[in-house]
Amino acid sequence: MNLMLRTLGLFLMFHAVAVCGCEPAAPPAPPAAEKPTDRPPPAGAPASQRAPLKLTDWVLHPYVAAGEENTAPLRIVSGAPNVTEMICALGGRESLVGRTRYCEYPPGIDSVPSIGALVDVNVEALLALKPDAIIIPGESRAQVEALGPLGFELKSVPDTTLEDLFRAIRRVGEVLGRRRSSKQLCERIAAELEAVDRRFAGSPSRRVLIVIGTLADPPAPPFVAGPKSFYDDLLRRAGHTNAAPPTNKEFAALSLEYILSSNPDVIIELDAEGRARPRGDEDARAAWARLGALAAVENRRVHVLTGRRNLLLGPRIAFVYADLCRAINGERVADAD
């Protein structure tokens, strides 16, 4: 299968959104707690003078507040990778009895039985799991119609904006009986986002196009992050502008003509599996050079970020935010899971 199409397919499954045509505020975070001690660098300071970030992978290192360690275990089925990560980040790994085939993190999660995917759920497998609750992303009518008649309790979590992440974590905490844990985890994630803010304070503002997947060869309209997506929230939070046109969509196909005429300062591709660009940014620049004259190509500001975490609105969002900021500012970005 074409790798670009596979990445796009994975993204659509993660977010349950539809491909739509594209026509020619960062939400406030919860109060921060235990802020990291790094100080903001002078405006425009080079990368070598900026303090290193210390971020926590909450999926691998769950946060459970004192007194909530021994909550009664439930039987929960996760309907999306970001939901699985939220459950694990709140110490609910033992409650997870089912997942979708796309839930591949944290390591070892493949030992949890798969129900297929919410668009083609294995009903027999789901019934055998006898879950107390199924947590699904968004408000998909198709998912409700497919799962509702089975008699299971459905819990949906919002998954559109950055603020939705905090709402979703708190909702998962309610299901797990860990309300205080979820509130405090939100505070810690908010503190990490603020640490990233300080790390890149004073960086030049740029117009950035975020591409889900990679540009096809020959070039075809790419799927991009629109103004209603959490990527837009992250860009605006960092002082940048989304180069996608004004629209009420989260994600949409964008015409090549629009890209050439709008001429973004930076282009960032999100390659989930990391195989489309063997030579990384060099391959990405060569692909976009075939489209035509672009400032991002000329100024070597076409970058590719690998790893599925970059497609998820989940508890590892500070890593996503930091990698976007590094790429926009021309710093090296390591491959991610």
CATH of the domain at 293: 3.40.50.1980
Containing domain of residue 129, as a range?
A: 76-196
**Residue 50 domain flag:** no
Same domain, 207 and 312: yes
C-alpha span between 285 and 310 (Å, rounded): 20
**Residue 60 domain flag:** no
The pLDDT value recorded for residue 38 is 36
**Residue 334 domain flag:** no
The pLDDT value recorded for residue 23 is 39
Same domain, 319 and 209: yes
- Last residue of one domain, picked from the residues 196, 226, 253: 196
Same domain, 104 and 211: no
What does the H/E/C string look like for the chain? Answer: CCHHHHHHHHHHHHHCCCCCECCCCCCCCCCCCCCCCCCCCCCCCCHHHCCCCCCCCCCCCCCCCCCCCCCCCCCEEECCHHHHHHHHHCCCHHHEEEECCCCCCCCCHHHCCECCCCCCCCHHHHHHHCCCEEEEECCCHHHHHHHHHHCCCEEEECCCCHHHHHHHHHHHHHHHCCHHHHHHHHHHHHHHHHHHHHHCCCCCCCEEEEEEECCCCCCCCCEEECCCCHHHHHHHHCCCEECCCCCCCCEEECCHHHHHHHCCCEEEEEECCCCCCCCCHHHHHHHHHCCCCCHHHHCCCEEEEECHHHHCCCCCHHHHHHHHHHHHCCCCCCCCC
Same domain, 207 and 307: yes
Residue where the block lists tokens 């640490």:
195
Per-residue pLDDT of the chain (337 residues; tens, 9 = 90+): 444 444 445 555 555 543 333 433 333 333 333 333 333 444 445 554 566 899 999 999 999 999 999 988 899 999 999 999 999 999 999 999 999 999 999 999 999 999 998 788 899 999 999 999 999 998 767 777 778 788 889 999 999 999 999 999 999 999 999 999 999 999 999 999 999 999 999 999 999 999 999 999 999 999 999 999 999 999 999 999 999 999 999 999 999 999 999 999 999 999 998 899 999 999 999 999 999 999 999 999 999 999 999 999 999 999 999 999 999 999 988 766 6
Q: Specify the pTM.
A: 0.86
**Residue 118 domain flag:** yes
**Residue 336 domain flag:** no
Same domain, 95 and 185: yes
Residues 6+ apart with CB under 8 A from 40: 198, 199, 201, 202
Same domain, 221 and 260: yes
Same domain, 222 and 147: no
**Residue 45 domain flag:** no
**Residue 221 domain flag:** yes
Would you put residue 202 in left (φ > 0), alpha (ψ -120 to 50) or beta? left
The number of distinct structural domains making up the chain is: 2
C-alpha span between 121 and 20 (Å, rounded): 24
